[in-house]
Structure 1
């Protein structure tokens, strides 16, 4: 059986990116299908978005910036192989320009938070959603630092949603983390 790193090496940058976008489309489709069965009305899912700027900044943006700060410090001081996810993040982010990183971070944060916080957490609770979110990032399962990082991040983002009940909070936190770390990979980890 091939290792993930070997599979990644066989894919072109374009194929890798298309696979990423396809996985996000699957998350959106699953979120909409589950919402049909789990919510009384489809609009219940959309009503989870609240444009409360104070909540978004305090519970989304600021914790997202803090996570990025901690991640960059850890990347500076820990051996590089601790953050190696099979080359996926490096390949994706170093091949994109900053506007495309913005778009990718937006798509990923919206699709993943719609499914994991908007549907799964709303229906089954914070713990289940956080564990499933971490497990979906299976490429981190054999990397201790990445696994602990995604578990802590999952519980943090889930908790932020739990206390605000505002889906824009985890979306903004997730976007901030992915976008800024994507830029970091693009500019400083080539």
Structure 2
């Protein structure tokens, strides 16, 4: 296959005080270093998505809100995704769930990886995101990046003196490589199958 996969790194939080842009930039840089993907950092804040209010999913009828349509076109332009998500009350942020709900067919038959963070590494949010992905007919890769515990508090402002992500490279670097390698395989497999 000669076509370079297009991969979106999606920042799943939209709060003004969010931390998501920090690990998103880190995994974006790692993904770009591969050299065999076209990677784009996609910020949900840039899309001004309304709360889902369509008659039905775009699997059943076209969306009427042009902001949702613009989001669907953006989603459709990628072959695979890396979701960067916080864990809010044992799940993903409402902004990410809403963005997932605004589209359906555009996610289908594509792969995704996860970078999650929080006190327990965002693992419960990641598991919830994987089940949502199943309903969207997506392929979740097994490997994931979970930034939790001491690592989380060393890079997050809540720890008092945040360090750069490179400070925890020894802990999360191997899982990032595994996730990116898995995402490459599954993205190329789903691209071939869709073709």
With the shorter chain as reference, the TM-score category is 0.3 to 0.5
- Greater RCO structure (CA 8 Å; 6+ sep): 1
Q: With the length of structure 1 as denominator, give the TM-score of the two structures.
A: 0.34
More strand, by proportion? 2
More helix, by proportion? 1
